[in-house]
């Protein structure tokens, strides 16, 4: 699973710090999500990000296909 947060933030011209400030999500949580250094994400965080960025979960999360 890959989190496309960085791409969406860049497209909308929003910084991680601004997202953290406006949503109450910690900068460290957003940084970990941005660098795919997390194994889980709470529905609460997911919902806050999607509402703030006016995107859906499918735009934020991407399934990475493994090559067999």
pLDDT tens column, 6-63: 999 999 999 999 999 999 999 999 999 988 888 889 999 999 999 999 999 999 998 8
The structural domains of the chain, with segments of one domain joined by +, span: 2-56
Given its phi and psi angles, is residue 15 left (phi above 0), alpha (psi -120 to 50 degrees) or beta?
A: beta
The number of C-alpha atoms within 13 Å of 16 and in the hemisphere containing its C-beta is 14
CA distance 61 to 68: 22
33, 41 Cβ separation under 8 angstroms = yes
Say how far apart CA 39 and CA 68 lie, in whole Å: 22
CATH architecture of 2-56: Orthogonal Bundle (1.10)
Overall pTM > 0.75: yes
């Amino acid at each position: 699973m890959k989190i496309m947060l960085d791409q969406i933030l860049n497209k909308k011209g929003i910084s991680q710090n601004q997202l953290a400030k406006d949503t109450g999500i910690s900068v460290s949580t957003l940084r970990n999500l941005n660098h795919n250094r997390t194994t889980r994400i709470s529905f609460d965080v997911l919902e806050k990000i999607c509402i703030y960025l006016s995107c859906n979960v499918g735009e934020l999360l991407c399934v990475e296909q493994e090559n067999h």
